[in-house]
Amino acid sequence: MKKVAKVYEMNGCDWWIDYSVEEAKKNYLEFTGMKETDVKEDWEEGWPVELNDEQINRLKYVPDPYDYPHEDKRTFKEEMKRRIEANDVPSFFATTEY
């Protein structure tokens, strides 16, 4: 069975792309260097949350302005497609903290 990548909102500011919520949690912690105790409160409040189709189509991905070549905003759906085609799953997807 083929795995399907999904975007998860990990907390109020970070998104992660992965194949399951369990994998997203594990890989997000490894990537950030946090421990489960660091995110316990957020995750007890219901995070992470898988984005639905409406959110994937509405939310805008803003590329890092310091990357070259400079790219325009796009939907999360468009960015998901790029990541999947580039075999860049799992990975940190987006943040509001830049």
How high is the pLDDT of residue 23? 97
Model-wide pTM > 0.85: yes
Q: Quick one: tokens of 27?
A: 């890989």
Total residue count of the chain as it appears in this document: 98
How high is the pLDDT of residue 19? 98
Query: What is d(CA 52, CA 40) in angstroms, rounded to the nearest whole number?
Result: 24
Hey, where are the domains in the chain?
6-95
Q: What is the pLDDT along the chain (98 residues), one digit of tens a residue?
A: 788 999 999 999 999 999 999 999 999 999 999 999 999 999 999 999 999 999 999 999 988 777 766 778 999 999 999 999 999 999 999 999 86
Bridge-partner residues for 49, per DSSP? 9
